Amino acid sequence: MDGHDPDDFDFETRAIRAGIERSDQGEHSEAIYATSSFVFASAAEAAARFSGEQSGNIYSRFTNPTVRMFERRLAALEGGEACVATSSGMSAVLSVCMALLRQGDHVVAARGLFGTTTSLLTQYLTRFGIAVSFVSTTDYAAWAAAIEPGRTRLLIIETPTNPLGEVADIRQLATLAHDVGARLVVDNCFCTPALQRPLALGADLVIHSATKYLDGQGRCMGGAVVGDAETVGKEVLGFLRTAGPSLSPFNAWIFLKGLETLALRMRAHSEQALELARWLQTQPGVARVYYPGLPDHPQHALAAAQQSAFGGIVSFEVAGGRAAAWRLIDATRLISITANLGDTKTTITHPATTTHGRLPAEEREKAGIGEGLLRLSVGLESLTDLKRDLARGLA
């Protein structure tokens, strides 16, 4: 960062200034390098770049300066040695699995994972001789029992979980993984490094859907993997540059701008969500509110120790099942009816018939996702307006 060590600066400063590579034009804002390939001064230089003798850009499927600025900035925020950016959050998950797993390996994953991550593991990885076990996010005895020493390579979690906000003890799961030479992978989508830094708690790899809070304004798709230089900078990058789910420089630029306001936004999302969760608890027709920031949340103390705030996702159960839940959604005029999250715009979704609709009803109930459950991604609009919009459907 302009000759300074990014580690010397606080988080807010790194979010704005880490990773900048200024060109000889002296631009202040990061440049968008919209180029698929890079030219060489001579045939000998081309040969040296391709052989790896000389470092430098070759082709944007491998490296691109705008993408690299985003990677370096996110690495500085998560406290990782290396970061590789991907075309979506799912391609980040895929890249980790393809880079680090082989036939005969075993993965233990939390039952509450993002639905598409679960599908990727069960429908695709299992085709290639990789076994997957699912356990409850917070049942550590079940994690210990599911791990097969010598065969289990990855433990995969999200914390807090979607949509019920269950919080996993990252330190404890990292110890379980390391005891058998496995790695702990944390999808840090809900907290972002502004609220939680899994690597400092012992996790080996962090995965992001940059589509969510890193962008923060619902504009484009992207993802990232952060970790040590060998695993991420060599193994994950090796898969990415071969298979091709690379991040577009345009999207990298948008994420760079998103990161500049990340700390501010996550603080504001968290404050708004906490107040809305408290307000929902007082509303007639609301049977239960799920938010790790509420003192009656089962992992409130752990969340308070592990995170610097509680994030922007609030779920709540309305009395009256699906009919009441859908009525509330349809009564909103301001809040967007969409399954996306991590936007300045507040969004509402009915998990049982959307994000978790593919689960058999029995499994869904077992996971605590009832017909009356609604999930809010609390945005940055006026809280007065948000309460008014929800009160209409609660009345």
Residues that bind ligand PLP (CB under 6 A): 88-90, 114, 117, 158, 162, 187, 189, 209, 211-212, 221, 223
Rounded-to-integer distance, Cα 196 and Cα 145, Å: 27
State the residue number with the nearest CB to ligand PLP.
89
64 vs 211 by CB, closer to ligand PLP: 211
Q: How far is the CB of 357 from ligand PLP (least distance, A)?
A: 16
Q: Which tokens in the block code for residue 89?
A: 């959050």
Q: How far is the CB of 321 from ligand PLP (least distance, A)?
A: 25
Distances (CA, A) of 226 to 82, 86, 97, 231: 6, 11, 14, 9
Q: Which of 311, 308, 287, 291 is nearest to 300 (CA)?
A: 291
DSSP H helical ranges for 244-320: 249-260, 262-281, 300-306
Q: How far is the CB of 223 from ligand PLP (least distance, A)?
A: 5
177 vs 313 by CB, closer to ligand PLP: 313
DSSP 309: S
3-state secondary structure of 17: helix
Q: How far is the CB of 185 from ligand PLP (least distance, A)?
A: 11
Q: How far is the CB of 212 from ligand PLP (least distance, A)?
A: 6
Q: Other CB atoms closer than 10 Å to residue 244's CB: what's the count? A: 10
Q: How far is the CB of 105 from ligand PLP (least distance, A)?
A: 21
247 vs 274 by CB, closer to ligand PLP: 247
182 vs 189 by CB, closer to ligand PLP: 189
Q: How far is the CB of 306 from ligand PLP (least distance, A)?
A: 17
Distances (CA, A) of 158 to 164, 187, 283, 326: 12, 5, 29, 27
Rounded-to-integer distance, Cα 76 and Cα 213, Å: 17
189 vs 318 by CB, closer to ligand PLP: 189
Rounded-to-integer distance, Cα 93 and Cα 91, Å: 5
Q: Which amino acid appears at position 8 of this protein?
A: D
184 vs 286 by CB, closer to ligand PLP: 184
Sheet of 152-158, strand order: 82-86, 223-227, 205-209, 183-187, 152-158, 106-110, 131-135
16 vs 120 by CB, closer to ligand PLP: 120
75 vs 225 by CB, closer to ligand PLP: 225
Taking the CA atoms of 125, 186, 213 and 84 in sequence, report the sign of the dihedral they define: negative
Q: How far is the CB of 211 from ligand PLP (least distance, A)?
A: 4
Rounded-to-integer distance, Cα 64 and Cα 96, Å: 20
